[in-house]
Amino acid sequence: MKLVGVCACTVGIAHTYIAKEKLLNAAKKRGFNIELETQGTIGTEDELSSESIKNADAVILAIDVKINGMNRFNGKKIIQIPTSVAVKSPNRLLDKVEEVLSCST
């Protein structure tokens, strides 16, 4: 499974990076390919390429604020949750992503 996503919390520091780390680790354990961009007080890091977005099966938005570039994800299956869900329950989140994708095929 190929996933892309954006992590962004209200302050743009701690939860943004914790959510990213938790999602990366959970996806790795499942053998998923995941790329995550962060948006916060220091700007955008690890910006997603249009090719990565195009090839993704789904987009995870672990966000607590509006993000830049939402239009990049038009036409993609989007799962949007607060960063706290990615931090506390990354495995359950990926279960839900699998469920959503299996229902849409």
Query: CA gyration radius for the chain?
Result: 12
Q: Do 68 and 44 meet the contact criterion of CB atoms below 8 Å apart?
A: yes
Q: Rounded to whole angstroms, how far apart are CA atoms 67 and 81?
A: 13
The string of pLDDT tens digits covering residues 55-80 is 999 999 999 999 999 999 999 999 99
Q: Rounded to whole angstroms, how far apart are CA atoms 92 and 98?
A: 10
Q: State residue 79 phi and psi, 5-degree precision.
A: -115, 110
Among 8, 9, 18, 56, the one annotated catalytic: 9
Q: Rounded to whole angstroms, how far apart are CA atoms 89 and 86?
A: 6
Q: What CATH number has the domain spanning 2-103? A: 3.40.50.2300
pTM: 0.94
**pLDDT of the chain, 105 residues: tens digit per residue:** 999 999 999 886 789 999 999 999 999 999 999 999 999 988 999 999 999 999 999 999 999 999 999 999 999 999 999 999 999 999 999 999 998 888 865
**Catalytic residue flag (residue 9):** yes
